[in-house]
Amino acid sequence: SSELTQPPSVSVSPGQTARITCSGDALAKQYVHWYQQKPGQAPVMIIYKDTERPSWIPGRFSASSSGTTVTLTVTGVQAEDEADYYCQSAGPNNAVFGGGTKLTVL
Amino acid sequence: QVLLQESGPGLVKPSQPLSLSCSVSGGFIGGLDYYWSWIRQSPGKGLEWIGYVYYTGSAYYNPSLESRVTISVDASKRHFSLELTSVTAADTAIYYCARAHVGDFTGFYFDFWGRGTLLTVAS
């Protein structure tokens, strides 16, 4: 794995759409997974294998992939979505996280 | 539902070794599709993967920590452990244990996490 780059912050108003990108050369060959972390809590996986969403994660969370950039989209942002979001990728025997993006709901 | 619970000393003196344990319930630690992992988060910072161990005992580590880290597993006792030697203040962090899911794809993702345990390095 190599470095993953995320924007430090994204701000949107309630009901709008938030997009958080994750970029890295390794993403052309490796899957990206996304985690949500609220203050004082452990991270929670919200997207795996680029675009797959666990059944218990709300449908407003989705992701898309294009080349070396993956985008997490939150459609119809709610106040409860305010959190830090981390992308992660892994090779056979190592893993790397992006620096994290703080999503602020205005 | 897989539950992971970290335990550790809370406070370690500089240059001393630290040892953390993670107990696993609700899941089979010997499963073929899982690695058992440690991840840490320094105060106010991002996530850093430390390493993982397979149920066979095979382990892989973050190259930046490899010289100081050992992760081991005791499947019969349903727990795995982290040892980190020669700690400094830079090792102060919340340490999470997590299950890494592998499968018919390259790489892995962390599908279940413990709540984390804060480890402070101070004299």
Closest by Cβ to B115, choosing from A31, A42, A97: A42
Inter-chain touch A49–B96, beta carbons under 8 Å? no
pLDDT tens digits, residue range B61-80? Answer: 999 999 999 999 987 879 99
> Which positions ≥6 away from B79 have C-beta within 8 Å?
B21, B22, B23, B24, B29, B73
* Pair B37, B60: CB distance under 8 Å: no
Chain A residue with the nearest C-alpha to that of B41? A42
Angstrom distances, CA of residue B104 to CA of A29, B32, B41: 14, 12, 29
A23-82 pLDDT per residue, tens: 998 888 899 999 999 999 999 999 999 999 999 999 999 999 998 999 999 999 999 999
* Strands A95-97 vs A83-90: parallel, antiparallel or unpaired: antiparallel
A33 contacts in chain B (CB < 8 Å): 109-110
Q: Mutate which of B3, B96, B105, B110 to disrupt the A interface (most A C-beta within 10 Å)?
A: B110
Say yes or no: A91 contacts chain B, CB-CB below 8 A. yes
**pLDDT number for residue B103:** 81
Interface residues from chain B to A (CB-CB < 8 Å): 37, 46-49, 60, 62-63, 96, 100-101, 105-111, 113-116
Sign, Cα dihedral of A50, A58, B4, B21:
positive
In chain B, the residue whose alpha carbon lies closest to the alpha carbon of A101 is: B46
